[in-house]
Amino acid sequence: MKHIVFILLLVFLASCDSPINRPPIPTTQTLKMDSIYTAADFRSYGDYYNANLQVFAIDLLSEGLAYDSTFHISGSGCNLFLSDIFTTCDSIPAGHYEMDSTAKKMTFLRGMNFEGNITGTYLLQISEDNIQHIVLFQSGSMDVKYTDQGTHLDFKLYTADSTYYHATYQGPSKYRIKSRKEK
């Protein structure tokens, strides 16, 4: 009887190690879209949520897109947008920021879709002034540095299915002050 139990136990353990029962090896796909941004619009909203945190947004354009005089986007390319970047300063300080779903210092909001209204961190693929594709990011980080060449932003972002997107911006950071109504 002991031999039968031992054999059944061995068969059970061997079957647990079979490829059928192993979780899939995670693969990181890379999002193949423009990732070098050449123009930026930095916006300051002040203490928008009355949480003792300053709120900022960054709107980035790849080559082929441009702002008109009213900051509407035209052309073809990619638009990376981050809303609700939280700091305790009057500008976005250098440092490491993490994507989060709550308002905390040195964080920015994840991408969200509220009944067709997108907010947070998202990427638009635009062709001839029309949005072709929207990508929402669910996790990631942003590193901010200030150098003689201006502001350097480095993004490591992930979609819900773990698709990776790396993007950068190097250039000026001129802030526009926005009111509560303009958000």
Give the rounded percent of residues in the chain with a pLDDT score beyond 90: 70
Across the strands, what pairs with 34?
none
pLDDT digits (tens, 9 = 90+) for 98-130: 999 889 999 999 999 988 899 999 999 999 999
pLDDT reported for residue 15: 47
Counting runs of H as helices and runs of E as strands, what totals does the chain give?
1, 15
pTM of the entire predicted model: 0.81
Amino acid letter at 136? L
Beta strand 65-67 with 107-109 is: unpaired
pLDDT along the chain (183 residues), means of 10: 46 45 57 93 94 96 93 95 95 96 94 92 96 96 96 97 96 80 54
